[in-house]
Amino acid sequence: MRVLTRTINGHPVNPIGLGCMSLSWAYGIPPLPEDGAKLLHRALDLGYNHLDTARIYGEGKNEALIGETLKGRRNEFFLASKTGIIVEGKDRRIDCKPATIRSALEESLRLLQTDHIDLYYLHRRDFDTPIEDSVGELARAVESGKIGSIGLSEMSAETLRKAHAVHPIAAMQTEYSPQTRNPEIAVLDACKELGTTFVAFSPVGRGSLPGTLRDPAALPEGDLRRHWPRFKGENWTNNLAQIDAFGAVATGVGVTPAQLALGWVLAKGDHIVAIPGTANIAHLEENIARGDWRPDAATITRIDALINQTTVAGPRYPAAAQAAIDTEEFA
Catalytic sites, residue numbers: 57
* Sequence-distant (≥ 6) Cβ neighbours of residue 6 within 8 angstroms: 12, 13, 14, 15, 197, 270, 271, 272, 273
DSSP 30: P
| Pick from 128, 92, 79, 87: nearest CA to 104 | 87
Amino acid at 51: L
User: From CA 296, how far away is CA 221, in angstroms rounded?
Assistant: 40
Residue 317 near residue 228, CB atoms below 8 Å: yes
Neighbouring C-beta atoms of residue 238, cutoff 10 Å: 15
Residue 230 near residue 313, CB atoms below 8 Å: yes
- For the chain, report the end-to-end CA distance as a whole number of angstroms: 41
Neighbouring C-beta atoms of residue 331, cutoff 10 Å: 4
